[in-house]
Each structure stands twice: as structure tokens, then as C-alpha cells.
Amino acid sequence: MSRIVLTVDQVVHRYGEQSTLQGVSLSLEEGKIGCLLGPSGCGKTTLLRCIAGFELVEEGSIVVNQRLVSSVTTYVPPERRRIGVVFQDYALFPHMTVAQNIEFGIRHLAEQERREKVRKLLHSVALDAFRLRYPGELSGGQQQRVALARALAPEPDLLLLDEPFSNLDPALRDRMKHELKVLLQHFGVTALIVTHNQDEAFDMADEIGVMAHGRIIQWGSAYDLYHRPTSRTVAEFLGMGAFLPADITDDGCLVSELGELVCTEDIKHLRGQTVTVLLRPDDIVHDDGASFRAIVRRVAFRGMYRVYHLGLPSGAEIHCFTSSHHEVHEVGSEIGIRLDLKHAVILLNEFSLVEETDQQHLPPTTLQNGS
């Protein structure tokens, strides 16, 4: 059984009268990369600061490597938590060389041991030739690697990264996401990343917590969050999607204006109800030979593919992807579409059921209650 390195249990934090964290809980296993994902002001950076020890908790507790570090009655200062932090701006010391920056947190070690550790870390982050450079002489990606090496030097139990890619240009950001993940896996470090960027979370994390209004509203894998959201809030935040009304018939079929979506015994108890169904762009296939037609409202070019915003007869809008090499359909024209639905996310008020099916709309294999 995997060891739990981080446990956050019902943590509450306030700035004055304003609640920034409202009973947040999560756990992270050894060697895993977790991510807190959400819009600005949702509380993700505040939670990171509470874990690091820069903020006090008013209720709940934080345990790192089976050691209580924060509660109402317990406070371990940041420097004694065995937690490494890579700040958004990297916070490198401009008057110190690369080697001196990495040495900063291990000055208590004997000189020979300290030099050997710095040498190994420089080699691991591919900066052997830059040991005598100053931060101002480095690129953004090189500065990030120095900050990572400095945070890893004391061999922390947990590494926290606050918006680690926000200062990088798009091309460098894509490369550094891969490099950083490889480095974290190489060192076997347990890490928690804060970001507002969905692509960064999906690329980096084993587990993701979507935050809103000071709460984690769903924690899980990228696939589950995208395809099995437990609430409309998560569904809307994680990518493009359309919410269509659908009726549940007496024989347990889910029917929308696009036709029959799924039939199953498991939703018969909802017969007669009108619910909302989430359809992602990859659930809709552009097929010029299909009988169902939709009106092109907008076309967005994304390099490898195009996104079509399509109007249905009811006035609702759905989306689909096509290859960028495919013939372009102009705004106002009609295109054929058909469903290629692997699952239907059924929203009951704010919460959802996930209906698994295959292309032939056979009975589902699972049905999960949202909470």
C-alpha cells in the first residue's frame, strides 16, 4: 500500500471576515504529482501557503509525512517542515551564482558533501556549465531549473510549485512541462502544483483538484474530471462543452433533439423527467453524409484542428473538431453531424450521473452518483 505524504483535513482559513478556504481536504501519495486547478481567487495559492507554513489554519489540520505541521494548536515553522517551495517568480538570489543559490538550503552540510550534492543536482538539471553564472544571465527555463534544484537540495518530503510556468513563453512552457515532470519522476519527489491552466494540470498531474470558492469540488484523474465531472462547475471549467436538455422516456432512453443518446435500466427511475446532458466536442463528429444538419455560427482555427461552433434548430449551440486540412465550411452554411458518444454525463440540478455506453448505445457499464 502506498504511503500518504500529505494529508489536508477540513482546513479553514480566513482573511478578516472573508473565508478563503472552507473545509478543504485532500491526500497525496508518495511519488505522486498533484495539482490544484482553478480560477484566480478560488483559494488554491492560499492552500499552498498554508501547507508551506506561510499562513495559519483556523480549523482543520495538515500532516506531512505522518507529522502534524498545522492545526489550531500546532504550528511548525516553514523551515522545519521539510517542504520545498518553487515560487512563481522563482525568487532566486540575484547576487549569488547558480551554485550558491542551490547551496543556500544545505549550508549546514560539510563542504565536500555540499559541493558533491550541488554537482549532482546541476548535472540532473543540465546546468553543469552554468554553475558560475548569475540568475540575470539565465533564460527563464534555466532559472526555473535552478529554483527546482535549490528546492530539491535539502531532500524535502514534499515539493510545492506555485504557477511554475506562468513566466515562460508558450513554446518554452511546453518544453518545460515535459522536462519538469521527468525531473520530478527521476527524483521520486511528491509534488503539489498550483495552476489556473487546464493544459498544465492535464500534462503534469497524476491527480487534480478543481477548486472554486475556497473548496475542492472534485479530486481525481484528468480523464475522470473531463469525462466524469460530478458537477456542472467542473464540467464548465474543464474545457468546451454543450449542455442540452433531454427527456427520459418510460423505457429508460435518454432523448435529445440530436436523437437517442443512451438506453438503460439504471435511469428508468427518472422517467418523465427533463434533465441536462453534457456533450463534449469529441462526442460530435462532422460527417457531410449525415442526415442531421447544423448551422455554422463560428469557426476557430487551432493549428492542427478547427473548432466549429454549431447552432441547432432549438437555438442551442454545440461544438465539434475537424482536421485543419478538411474543407472549411463558412459561417452560415450547413454541415452534417452525428453522435459518437462513449458516455453521457447527465446533470440533475447541479450534480451529475455518468452513463457509460458504447457506439451502439448498449446498456451502460457503470453509473456514478455525483456528490
Per-residue confidence of the chain (371 residues) as pLDDT tens digits? Answer: 679 999 999 999 998 888 999 999 999 999 999 999 999 899 999 999 999 999 999 999 999 999 999 999 999 999 999 999 998 888 899 999 999 999 998 989 899 999 999 999 999 888 999 999 999 999 888 998 999 999 999 999 999 999 988 877 777 788 888 888 888 898 899 999 999 999 999 999 999 999 999 999 999 999 999 988 988 889 989 888 899 999 999 888 888 999 888 777 778 888 888 889 999 998 999 998 898 999 999 999 888 889 999 999 999 999 999 888 888 899 999 999 998 887 778 887 655 555 544 333 323 323 333 32
DSSP annotation string for 158-227: EEEEESTTTTS-HHHHHHHHHHHHHHHHHHT--EEEEES-HHHHHHH-SEEEEEETTEEEEEE-HHHHHH
Contact 334, 295 (CB under 8 A): yes
Dihedrals phi, psi of 200, to nearest 5 degrees:
-65, -45
Which is the CATH superfamily of the domain at 242-369?
Nucleic acid-binding proteins (2.40.50.140)
Q: What distance in Å separates the CA atoms of residue 199 and residue 176, rounded to the nearest whole number?
A: 13
Closest CA to 82 of 3, 186, 189, 232: 189
Please count the residues of the chain: 371
CATH classification (class only), 4-232: alpha beta
CB 316 within 8 A of CB 244: yes
The residue to which cell 485543419 is assigned = 324
pLDDT at 88: 85
- If you write DSSP's letter for every residue of 245-296 in order, what string do you get? EEEEPTTSEEEETTEEEEE-GGGGGGTT-EEEEEE-GGGEEE-TT-S-EEEE
What pLDDT, on the 0 to 100 scale, is given for residue 227? 87
Q: For position 26, what pLDDT does the model report?
A: 97
45 burial level (CB within 10 Å; 0-12, 13-18, 19+)? buried
- What sign has the CA pseudo-torsion 220, 34, 40, 75? positive
Residue 131 Cα distances to 96, 97, 98, 119, 135, angstroms = 10, 7, 5, 9, 10
pLDDT of residue 354: 56
Q: Structure pTM? A: 0.86
Domain regions of the chain by residue span? 4-232, 242-369
Residue 360 has a pLDDT of 32
pLDDT of residue 221: 95
- Look at residue 366 in the predicted model and tell me its pLDDT: 31
Residues with Cβ within 8 Å of 132's Cβ and at least 6 positions away in sequence, in order, are: 97, 98, 99
C-alpha cell of residue 292:
442531421
User: How confident is the model at residue 368, as a pLDDT?
Assistant: 34
* pLDDT value of residue 359: 32
CB environment 99-128: b (16+ within 10 A), e (fewer)? bbbbbebbeebeeeebeebbeebbebbebe
